[in-house]
Amino acid sequence: MNAQARPVDETLVRLLPKAEVHVHLEGCFDLADLLELAKAAGVGLPGPAATLFDVDTHDVPAEAPGAPKSTLSAFLRFLDWEGGLVRTPEQAARAAYRFAARESASGVRYADVIVNPTHWGAWHGRLGELFAAFAAGLDEAEQDGLAVVNLCASLLRQQTPAAAAELVDWLVEARPVRVVALSIDGDERAAGRTGPRFADAFRRAADAGIRRTVHAGESSGPQGVWDALDLLRAERIDHGVRAAEDPALLRRLVDERVPLGVCPRSNLALGLYPDRASHPLPALLAAGVAVTVNTDDPAAMGYRLEAEWAACADAYGWGLAEVAELARASVRASFAPPELAASLLADIDAFEAGRA
C-alpha cells in the first residue's frame, strides 16, 4: 500500500508543515491554566472544575436583560470570564507563549491568532501594555524555536463605531509589535447586521496598510459575507460556511481568491450543523473556494488541530494529496511574512514528495 492510500492520521498531520489562521487566544486556556489564574485572582469558578468547559450550565450572567440566549452567546460570555482572569503582564506573556507551544505541538509553523480586547476586562485603558506583553511572550517563544505567531486585534460586533475608530486609531498610531490585522468577531445573529456600522473603521485600516479578516457567515446567512467583502474590505473570511447557500457568493469568493477560515468542529459544537455529513466544507471545496481548516477555540472545546484535520480526512475521504493542499491553502491564506510563507510552501512540497 502506498502513502497516498494510507489513512491520514494525527501523526501525519502533526508532521505536515502548516499554518493556522482562525484561532482565538481567549479560547486556548487549558483547565490547569484557568485554575491557576482563578486562584491567583481570588475568583471563583462559574461551575465545577470537572465540567468547566460546559458553558451552557455556568452561572455567567447575560450581557443585558432580555439579551438573546444561544450556545454561542453563552460561550462568548465564558471567554469574558477567562480573559478577565489575566491581570498581570507576566500572565499575558505566559498565555501567548503557551499558545505558541500549543501550535508547535500540532505541527503549526505560523499562526495568526485573534485577540479581542473586550474579553480581557482587566486591561481596559491599558491596551498598549496588554499587546506588549503578548508580543514579549511570542518573542520568547520564537527564540525558543516555537511557531511564529502574529496578532489580529479584533472588534466585537456589539461595539459602537466610536469604539471601532478608537481601536483603529491606536493601531495606526502605535503600530504595536506583531499586530498584523484588524478583525471583527462575535455573535452575528445577536448583533444584527454590523457591516455598515464598522465600514469606516475597516476602510481606515485598509488605507493604513493593516490587513483585514472578518468573522461572517457563521450564525447569520450569506449576507454577512457579502457585507464583509463590500463594506469591510475583508481579505479573509473567518467561518464563511453559510456562503455555500449562495452560488453567486461562491463565484465571487473563487474569482477574488478570498479564503475561508473554516472551523468544522466548532460549527458542530455550537449547533450550526448536526454532523460532519451536513457540514458544507466538501461543497465549498468542490466549488473551488480556498478553504482552510482551523480550531477556533480548541482548549475550550477539547480538541487539537491534528485531530480536526484527521477527523475531516476520515469523514471526507481525504488522502495525503488533499491534506497537503489543505496545508498549502493555510499558508497562502495567512498573513505570514513572504519569506516565511515561501519557505513553508517549499517544506510542504518536500514533505508530500517524501511521503509519496
Indicate which residues carry an active-site annotation.
Answer: 218
Helices 127-143, 161-174: inter-axial angle, 10-degree rounding: 50
Sequence-ordered list of residues with C-beta below 8 angstroms from that of 32, at least 6 positions apart, any chain: none
As given in the structure block, the three cell numbers for residue 44 are: 471563583
Which residues, in sequence order, are CB contacts of 65 under 8 Å at separation 6+?
none
Owner of C-alpha cell 501525519: 12
* Burial class for 49, CB neighbours closer than 10 Å (0-12, 13-18, 19+): exposed
Q: Give dist(CA 192, CA 12) in Å, integer.
A: 41
Give CA–CA dist 202/220, Å, rounded.
20
Q: What does residue 113 show for φ and ψ, rounded to 5 degrees?
A: -105, 135
d(CA 340, CA 68): 43
Which residue, 212, 247, 209, 218, is CA-closest to 230? 212
Long-range interactions of 232-237: CB distance < 8 A, separation 24+: 232/184, 232/195, 232/198, 232/199, 232/202, 233/202, 233/203, 233/206, 234/202, 234/258, 235/211, 236/21, 236/212, 236/260, 236/261, 236/333, 237/213, 237/261
What DSSP state is assigned to residue 243?
Answer: G
Show the cell assigned to 96: 501567548
